[in-house]
Amino acid sequence: MENKKYAHLVKPLSIAAMPGSERAFRNTGNADINLWLNGRDHLEGLELNFSWGFYTGLGDWHPGMDPHVHPYPEALVFVGLDPDNIEYLGAEMQYCLGKELEVHTFDKPSVIVAKGGVLHCPSVTKEVLNPIGYSFFILSLGAEPRTTWMGDGISEEQIRRMQEIASSSKPFMVSTFSKKRYHVSPETMTYSDKHAHLIKPLKLLPRAAAEKDMMIPGPGNADRLFWMTGNDLEGMELNFTWGFHKRPGLWHRGPGKSDGAHFHPHDEVLVFAGTDPSDINYLGAEISIDMGEEHERHIIDKPIAVVIPKGVVHNPIITRYVDRPFAFFMISLARDYEVTWCSR
Q: What are 283-298's pLDDT values in tens digits? A: 999 999 999 999 999 9
Q: What is the pLDDT of residue 214?
A: 64
**Helix intervals (H) in the chain:** 21-25, 156-166, 207-211
Among the residue ranges 178-182, 244-248, 253-257, 292-296, the one predicted with the least confidence is 253-257
Query: Torsion over CA of 329, 334, 336 and 337, rounded to 10 degrees?
Result: -50
Is residue 280 within 8 Å of residue 53, measured between CB atoms?
Answer: yes
User: To the nearest whole number, what is the mean pLDDT of the chain?
Assistant: 92
Give the right CATH number for 203-341 from 3.30.420.40, 2.40.10.220, 2.60.120.10, 2.60.40.10: 2.60.120.10
Indicate the pLDDT class of residue 135, thresholds 50, 70 and 90.
Answer: very high
pLDDT of residue 254 exceeding 90: no
Question: pLDDT tens for residues 139-177?
Answer: 999 999 999 999 999 888 888 888 887 777 777 889 999
- In this predicted model, which residue has the larger pLDDT, 260 or 196? 196
Q: Using an 8 Å Cβ cutoff, are 254 and 260 in contact?
A: yes
Phi and psi for 231 in degrees, rounded to 5? -65, -30
The CATH number, out of the four listed (3.40.50.150, 3.40.630.10, 3.40.640.10, 2.60.120.10), of the domain defined by the range 13-200? 2.60.120.10
Identical fold for domains 13-200 and 203-341, yes or no, is: yes
- Quick check: 344 pLDDT over 70? no
Q: Where along the chain do its domains lie?
A: 13-200, 203-341
For residues 262 and 3, which has the higher predicted lDDT (pLDDT)?
262
Q: Report which of residues 23 and 156 the model is more confident about.
A: 156
pLDDT at 1 over 50: no
Diameter over CA atoms, the chain: 64
| Single-letter amino acid, residue 116 | G
Candidates 124, 103, 107; CA nearest to 198 is 103
| CA distance linking residue 290 with residue 326, whole number of Å | 19
Global pTM reads 0.94
Q: Please tell me the distance from the alpha carbon of residue 261 to that of residue 178, in angstroms, as a whole number.
A: 48
What's the pLDDT at 171? 77
Q: Are strands 225-228 and 216-217 parallel, antiparallel or unpaired?
A: unpaired
